Homo-oligomer: A and B are copies of this chain.
């Protein structure tokens, strides 16, 4: 059975994004990547990763002195949680309204729209 995880906070999601895109990393590397977008102390990232490990959001390999962290869940899994959560809390379960909100928030490109159509096709065929 898949364990229940808390919704990641803003700072945590930022770190998860790094881990998803770059694979298992040391604290140092995560810190370097995060620093490109936001000045942060090394120990801040360390502390966050430790807390995230406690929560179960990440796992770590302690075999080396510099521990290696990786996301406990794939990006798609967490995205599904977050989308479902917002869908429920702010859109009363209406996926079309959520999509409308997203589209009007940032104008989607033509490619994005065709991608969405393609996705709908696939979704309708796959899951009944």
**Chain A positions near chain B (C-beta within 8 angstroms):** 10, 13-14, 17, 76, 78-84, 86-108, 112-113, 115-117, 119-120, 123-124, 127
Which B residue's beta carbon lies closest to that of A109?
B95
Report A13 CB to chain B, min CB distance, Å: 6
22 pairs, A vs B, C-beta closer than 8 Å: A10-B89, A14-B89, A17-B90, A78-B90, A80-B101, A82-B86, A82-B90, A83-B86, A83-B101, A83-B102, A84-B105, A87-B102, A87-B105, A93-B106, A94-B112, A95-B99, A95-B116, A98-B98, A103-B123, A113-B123, A113-B124, A116-B120
Contacts of A119 on B, CB cut-off 8 Å?
A: 96, 99-100
